[in-house]
Structure formats: structure tokens, C-alpha cells
A and B are shown apart, each in its own frame.
Chain A
Amino acid sequence: MVLLKAIISFFIISICAINLSQIKFKAVKYLFWILSISIIITITSFLSELIAGIICMVLIVIMLYYKKKKIYTSIFYAILAMLLSVLSDNIVSSIITDGFQNGVEIKERFENDIVVYLIISIFILLLAFSISKLLGYLINRKRLIENVTANKKYGLILSSFLVLTFIFIYASVFVEKVSNPLLTIGIYVLYFLVIIIIVYFLITVTKKENEIINRKKELEQLSQYTKNLELLYIDMRKFRHDYINVLAALNGYIEDDNIEGLTEYFHNNIIPFSNKVIANNSELGLLSLVKIPEVKGIISLKIIYAQEKNIKVNIEISEEIDEINIETLDLCRILGILLDNAIESATNTENAALSIAFINNPFTISIVIANSFFGEIPSINRMFTEGFSTKGEGRGLGLSTLREIVNSYTQTTLETIIENNEFRQVVRIRKKPFIVQI
């Protein structure tokens, strides 16, 4: 009887595990596993049920590892399978005890009568089989587990969480038999403590991951910036080349005393050339004064974007900006929102222009962003309402997010001005947090 019980429960768990992991066994090999493991379990279950359960788990893990060669994945599937079989066992037995009038009686017979036991076991098996098949399909369709456990940290966290749950369930069953309330409470408390620790780890791991992603972004922006500087350099070399050619041509006219030709040349070639020199402003060069790489990155990116849209960009930075007293990430969000809005509303205007200025005053650093606009500007108040946008629905989160970020610091203030056909926003950041003077 004990042997039968052991075989059946092991059979259910292993079926679950196979369904979940969607690995394939040959029938003969599978039978060999079942039989050999069942015998081991039977022997141990004479000693202690608790040990038998644990050994059962370990063996299933070994079985999966034999096929998958991945330890975390195997642990994960084995424990999930165990949980599933316990779940279906509980569902079926509670249906029997509550659903039938003589349910309790049946349950008692279930413990002793082989036929009843077998019938009920088949139900449990069917339930566990279908749940695990479904779950296995869901999990494997997107290769969820493999993706998660590929990262060692996540794998460790996930499997230790499941191991913990497994231990918890086993312990609570065991404690029920002993029926010591203090022990029960102890186990619950321990369980939750450990869960809190796991969640804490999870949070720190995700935080680190995010940092890495941000760094990557930053690097991309910086490399874009360098690329543009290189382009600028190439432009300079071209200019030098042109300049020397122009001088040579002038020299030619002078040596020939050809004043008429010289005049013509001057008007036709040199004046347009000098206009080009004025227009070709090396705005990006000024960014070298900004010593915060993230800020440099985001501004250069947006400037290039604006120039592609034929917006004339004017940058004013007269002093080095090496420290701004808010989180860099928030600063970048602020700049991103302001510049995106400015570019968006400057596009398609006549003489499209965008100005960016960093101004270093004794108490504050001001960031001014101004742009030309076209048509009616709605009331400033409405602009800051969530969901409002002149660009259509679902895009109005920018300015309300900006307001939120500014509000989250005591040292930042925001100013919005519409003047002379120009829309201007000023973010002022105090170098020290604001202290009330009494």
C-alpha cells in the first residue's frame, strides 16, 4: 500500500514536471526512472514521510537536470510540479468532503481502500495533468523561464523563492500534525521575513539593471555627440581649404591689376561665402562647457534633431556648468520634455528658432528654453493639465510631468512666458535647497 501511494504521488509529480518543462522521455527510460525512484522513496518513507518528500523532490530535480542540464530551471520546474500536485490533491479532496453527503466517510476509506484510492488518484492525476499542460504551454511559449533563469541572479531569486514555498508548505503540514500554535506562528513569521528579503534583493537587482540601461543610453548619446564633433571638424578643414583657394584667387586678380574682375569676384564669391561662414555656427562646440555627460548627451541629440528639421538653434553657455543640484535623471527628463515640446512647436513655423541657455547666477542656475510658435497659444494654465496637448490626444503628459518633477524639489521653480511671438520656459535650480528665513 505504501509502495503504491509513493508510486502514484511520484507519478503525478513527475507527470506535472514533464508537462511543465515540456521535455520528452522515452517510455522505457521513464518507467525505469519511476520504478527505481519509487523504490527508494518507499524505503525512506518507512523511516519518515518528511524525508521521503524531500528525497522525492531532489530526485525529480535530478531527473530534470539529467535532461535539461540547467540547475535553476530544474529546481523551478520540480517545485512548481510539486505545488501543482499538492494543489490538485487538495482541490479533489475538498470537492469530495464538501460535495458529497458522506464525503468524510469516503475520505476515510480513501486512506485504506485501494480501489477508491486509485479512482481518486486518477481524478487528481487528470486535474494536475491538465493544469500543468496548460501552464507548461503558457510558460514555454514565450520561453519565460529560460529567459529569467538565464540571468543567474534572477534564477537564484526565483528558485530560492520556490524552495522556500515548498519548505513552508511541508513545514506547515508537519506542524499541523504536531499542533503547536507557537511553532505555526514562527514558521509564518519566518516565511514572510524571508519573502521580504527576497523582494528587497529583487528591487536592488532591478535598480542596478536600470542603471546599466541608463549608462548604455548615455554612452550612445555621447558617441553621437562625438560623431557630430567630427563632422564639425571635417567642415572646418573644408573651410580652411576654401579659404586658401579664395586667397589664391584674390592674389591672382591683384597681381594682374584686374580691379573689375576683383570686384566681380568679391561680390559673386566672397560675400556668399562669408554669409555661409556666419550661418554655419558651431553651436555644438559650446557644449564642451557642460561638464555633466548625460546633459551634454541629451542636448546634443536634441540639437541635431532640431537642425534636421531646419530649426535654427542658438545655444548660450558662457560659464562652465559642472554641477546642478538635482538628480541627473530628473534633469535629463526635464530637458527632454522642454526640448521635445520646443522642437515640436517650432517645426513648421516661419523662421523656426530654438534657443537654449544655461545661466549661472550666484544663487541659482537657470535653464532657459525658448522657441518660435505658430498660431494661437492656448492658456498657459491649460497646458499644464494632464492629458492636454495641441498635438492631439494621448500626448499631453509632458508638461504635467514637468510640473510634477519641479514640485518634487524645494530648490526648483518653473516660469512660463509668452512674449514677442516666443514661447519661453525657465527652470531655476537653486544651488542650495531653499531654507525659510524667519
Chain B
Amino acid sequence: MLDIFICEDNKQQLNSLIKIINNLILFENYDMRIKVATHDPYEILKVVEESNYPCIYFIDIELGSSINGIALSEKIRKYDSRGFIIFITTHDNMRPLTFQYKVEALDYIIKNNIKSIEQRISECLVNVLEKYLKATHEVVKIFHIDKEDRTIHIEYNQMFYIETSATAHKVILHANDRQIEFYGNLDKIIKVLDKRFCRCHKSFIVNKEKIKEVDKKNRVIRLTNDEVCLVSRRMFKEIS
């Protein structure tokens, strides 16, 4: 059962949100329920403190309170680091990058007309459910880092290799469509990862499923995306 929290200061809009979400749950037979729907962000915080995580949050940006939606989400994140936050905002307050990088919001919905809001809420709930099932049933394994104000989720089968950066204590993760630098060391990371990963060199961890060929002469591994990893002499046998 996923709990849903709604925070919206306009009473009319709050009521229509409740109606839309309840209808969706009923029609699609989702395993969810609205736990709190209020105009007061502090009420949300009170309940969030003792809830089953993760939860779903629909939050308006302008709350007419001493804190706004983003600040509320920051506080929520302290309890529920993997919750699904969806902002509801007017065009003027739309700041997609801030939503994503400040509080890791899942999505945002622009308030213009009721029809499109309904459509978007439905999309968001589908998305939430998909992500939630993936995470709980471990169909797909996910590399997860949550440190200070940085979280990284990435599927194992998207990862190509991890290498140490030119500066100490930093490593770079090379994945399908992204390259992410973060603080860490390969010794610790290899312990977290599963068997498909191999420490092929003192400064490389490679995903064995992504190897295209092993170049013995130059002692490198060529990956399916044409990138190249170094291999130490010792690890040659294990790879080939």
C-alpha cells in the first residue's frame, strides 16, 4: 500500500485533486490511498514522520505558508529519501531543473486546465508504480548511492564501467547515456556490485556483459560502445 500526501492551499483545487486521484485509484485498482490532503505543510510533516516509506507526494509550490513547496519537500526528503515527489505549479513557478536537482522530484504538473491535470496525474501514478515495483521486486538491479545531498540510481545493465578520476577520491561512472562523477573508491564499490562486474585494473571496474573484445596486445578491453578499459596482467585470465 502506497500512501499519498497532498498539499495545496487553494481549497477548490485541493478538492478537485482529491477527486481525480480517488477516481484513478478506484478505476485502475491501484494499491494506494490518500493519507493526508491539506493546505497546511506542517500537518504533512507531522504525519510523514511516522509513515511507511516510500510515499507519494503531490505538492503545490506556492503554499501561502511560512514555507513553500520546495522547502517542504526538502524536509520530507529527510525522512523519506526515496519517496515520489510531484509538484503542482503555475507556469510562473515552473523550475524543472530545480525540482529535479534540489529535491529529486519525480515530475511536475502545470496547472492550466482540469483535463490535462487529470491526464498528467494518471501518467505520474503509472510512472511511480513502475519505479516502485522495479525497486521492490528487484527484477532489475539498481546501483544506488545516497550520500550528503547526492543520490544516484542507475540500473546495472546500463552501466559500462567505473574508473578513478584524475583527482583523488573521485570516480567516474560511464553508463549508456550519462557520465557521472562522484566521491567514492573502487574497493568499496566493487563489494556492492554483483558478479557481472569485475575489477579488471587497479583503476577500473568493468561490466563483463558489455565487453566486445579483449585486446591482448595492447592489454585493453573494448566495450560495446567502443570505449576502452585498461586490464592488468593478473586479471587477464579471469576476463578471457
Task: Give residues in A with beta carbon < 8 Å to B.
Answer: 278, 316, 318, 355, 357, 359-364, 366, 368, 370, 379-381, 406-410, 413-419, 426, 428, 434, 436
Contacts and interface: CB of A to CB of B under 8 A. Distances in A.
Contact of B98 (A357, A410, A426): A357
Binding site of B, secondary structure by majority: helix, strand, loop or mixed? mixed
A357 B96 CA distance: 9
A226 to B, nearest CB: 25
B150 A428 contact: yes
Given A357-B98, A379-B226, A413 B181 contact: yes
B216 interface: no
Given A357-B97, A419-B178, 4 more contacts: A357-B101, A414-B181, A416-B179, A434-B183
A416 B179 CA distance: 5
Interface string B61-88: 0000000001000000000000000000
Interface in B174-195: 174, 177-183
13 contacts: A316-B98, A380-B179, A381-B179, A406-B181, A407-B166, A407-B167, A409-B167, A410-B168, A410-B169, A414-B181, A415-B179, A417-B179, A418-B178
B127 to A, nearest CB: 13
A421 to B, nearest CB: 11
Contacts of B70: 318
Contacts of B91: 278
A363 to B, nearest CB: 4
A418 B179 CA distance: 9
A389 B221 CA distance: 25
Nearest to B97: A357
Contact of B150 (A364, A418, A419): A364
Contact of B178 (A316, A359, A415): A415
Nearest to B183: A434
B149 interface: yes
A355 B97 CA distance: 8
Contacts of B101: 357, 359, 361, 366, 368, 426
B102 interface: yes
Nearest to B70: A318
B177 A417 contact: yes
Nearest to A435: B169
B170 interface: yes
B148 interface: yes
Contacts of B179: 380-381, 414-417
A409 B149 CA distance: 19
Contact of A380 (B95, B148, B170, B178): B178
Interface in B8-27: none
Contacts of A357: 95, 97-98, 101
B225 A316 contact: no
Nearest to B227: A381
B97 A316 contact: yes
A125 B179 CA distance: 69
B177 to A, nearest CB: 4
B97 A379 contact: no
Contacts of B95: 316, 318, 357
Contacts of A428: 150
A363 B177 CA distance: 26
Contacts of A364: 148-150
Contacts of B38: none
Nearest to A380: B179
A99 B180 CA distance: 70
Interface in B89-122: 91, 95-98, 101-102
A410 to B, nearest CB: 6
A256 B225 CA distance: 72
Nearest to A316: B95
A290 B180 CA distance: 26
B26 to A, nearest CB: 31
Nearest to A418: B177
A128 B23 CA distance: 101
B165 interface: yes
Nearest to B167: A407
